[in-house]
Amino acid sequence: MRRLLRADAARSAGAQYADARVSTNRVQSVSTRERRVDSLVDDETSGLGIRVLVGGTWGFAASREMTLAETERVARQAVAQARASRVAQRRPVALAPVERYPEAQWRSPIQTDPFSISVEDKVGLLLAANEAALGVKGARFVNSSMAFVREQKVFASTEGTYTEQTVYRTWPRMSITAVAASGGDFQTRDSTPVAPKGLGYEHVVNARLVENAPRWAEEAVQKLSAAAVRPGRYDLVLLPSHLFLTIHESIAHPTELDRVLGYEANYAGTSFISPIDKYLGKFRYGPAFMNIQGERSAPGGLATVGWDDEGVKPRDYLIVKDGVLHDLQTTREQAPLLADWYRQTGQPVRSHGNSYAQSWADVQFQRMPNVNLLPHAERDVPLDELISGVRNGILIEGRGSYSIDQQRYNAQFGGQVFYEIRNGKRGRMLKDVAYQIRTPEFWNSMDLIGGKSTYEVHGTFNDGKGQPSQSNAVSHGCPPSRHRDVEVINTGRSG
């Protein structure tokens, strides 16, 4: 492998800097519906990607053939591409300094390799969970699945870094639909309390799908007779299984520096945080107890790694500090663009380690780390305290449908299960609930968050970005939160 990743081919062709990634990615998914297997996918891809910097311009080329001769050809092709692209250069690329890691290894902290478990055992567990859900009267349809990813990748650069990593991701899930006896209504309950994690098959076992399926099915049935919400303004208590998505869309995405700079305008939008000098260090995202952390170190986090795809060892950092925008997500190319801000705050000009490519065939670019709302710093606030302070409100669990504008400013979020809160007590189930926000107003309406014991980690397995599109996985940890006077609408089906 080291011979394949030698740097002399790129340098001899004229590159000032080069890095290479050899990776083998395996993806397996098993899906069932009621009492049958719906699909089985098991794919593996291997290859080599080389990125070079020539005269301040990037070039990239890749190949699935891994021989010395092909490596040299790919390196020359990447250099030729960089030279051809210089005609469109606006400013030369400058890279932030990086530490050198000549011998480095990392592996996700798994207990059981999911690919060591037979497909028969996986199918058996899913079908047993389906049967448990179908045992609840009114539950008519059940979909269940397991998805697994293993990324084995080697990175080397002309700056002397050489890393080997094996990254795992696992996601067990169910979706149960209840149908009214009349056939005139249906309601669905997804297994949103079970989040995807950067763990092994032990995560499937600990999800206890068979044991939890009847409860989820019962909640789907209960939703059929739940009271439809009345539109209006309510206080909201948002559980972590729901809140993580609001964090993802209204905080994590708009603080990606490439979005702020307008590089992502054609796909999934830009950011309301622009121009940077009017926001960084000045914009009040939320109350003083609000701290948003970027990290790639939490065990089980979907974006957790030892080194990013530029050989940078990520460090934990605060994106929002004491309620004020404090930093942005960066790569080695992006960090120098914030040099003035870093000098003002006494921080080094250093990449936060937010570079990622979904495979050997794709060029790496800025992708978000795990982005977390940290729990209350002064005391362990329980969920009951958040609820007890609400006279007229709604408790929301789980992610549902959502929409957000191109600048991540105006949005609407639904959920899975909703409960009325009256005079500090959780009451009857509601349905057809969604709330509308403007990002700054929403986060500044937050008047209390849970403490350390209420903190949970949820996330998304597939987050699309870029052209050509790439997908990454990311976690968001958070406690429950309480927000005052939020606009709620009824999303019920008409007709």
Domains of the chain plus CATH, in order, are: 8-225 (3.30.2290.10), 232-490 (no CATH)
Say yes or no to pLDDT of 443 above 80.
yes
For CA atoms 227, 429, 231, 249, give the dihedral sign: negative
Per DSSP (E only), the strands in 265-409 are 292-295, 317-321, 324-325, 355-356, 365-366, 370-373, 392-397, 402-404
Contacts of residue 183, Cβ cutoff 8 Å, sequence gap at least 6: none
Q: What is the identity of the amino acid at 293?
A: Q
**48 close to 20: Cβ distance less than 8 angstroms:** yes
Question: What's the confidence (pLDDT) of residue 267?
Answer: 84
Both structure tokens of 460: 């998304």
pTM for this model (two decimals): 0.96
The mean per-residue pLDDT over the stretch 346-369 comes to 96
pLDDT band, residue 6 (cuts 50/70/90): low
**Residue 344 CB contacts under 8 Å (≥ 6 apart), including other chains:** 281
pLDDT value at residue 2: 61
Strand partners of residue 483: 236, 446
Residue 230 has pLDDT above 60, yes or no: yes
Q: What's the pLDDT at 431?
A: 96
pLDDT grade, residue 86 (50/70/90)? very high
Pairwise CA distance, residues 247 & 474, whole Å:
12
From residue 66, alpha-carbon distances to 52, 72, 73, 346, 405 in Å are 18, 10, 11, 44, 43
